Amino acid sequence: MRDELNKWLTKYLKFRYGFAPQFFDINNSITKIRVQFIKDHVFCAIGELNNIEKVIDLIRKIKMNDHIKEFRYIVMVVLNNRRNVNFLIMNWNIFCAREYVKIMFVNIEKNKVWEIVPYVHNLIADKTNLRKGILSLYHGFG
């Protein structure tokens, strides 16, 4: 599934920015993550969010990588499914503590995308309705 997501992401970036991104790989535990870099955004097609330690390790490796001098966002590209949404909600405090993290939820079949920057969302959203608000984004693009 990650290969399919990487192909989708490459097409999306070419369409959105008008030119192809730069590529490089980062070894993240057992798997290799294909990183696509364009302008000031670093895109990682992760697919499934299931281990917060691996997410933190990936962020650390991207920040230390020689290919990237400056960036505004690390964009984690994941499938728009309930598991990923629940993972975001359960680890909200970790994600919103990093102002440079953006999560892009993708429905490949419908070619629909929604994005969230937890740091910014946390500043402006009603925290008592966090779960409800994120779930409504998920359902709107599912």
What is the dihedral sign for C-alpha 114, 39, 36, 54?
negative
**Helical (H) or strand (E) element with 31:** strand 31-38
Query: How does pLDDT run across 7-33, given as a tens digit for each residue?
Result: 888 888 888 777 666 766 666 554 567
pTM over 0.75: yes
Q: How many CA atoms lie within 13 A of 29 on its CB side?
A: 10
pLDDT for the residue 30? 44
3-class DSSP state of 86: helix
Domain ranges, residue 123:
2-141
pLDDT for the residue 71? 81
Q: How far apart are CA 44 and CA 28, in angstroms?
A: 11
pLDDT for the residue 127? 86
pLDDT for the residue 139? 92
pLDDT for the residue 74? 92
Positions of the chain with pLDDT under 70: 1, 19-21, 23-32, 67, 69
Q: How far apart are CA 5 and CA 88, in angstroms?
A: 19
The total of structural domains in the chain comes to 1
pLDDT for the residue 28? 52
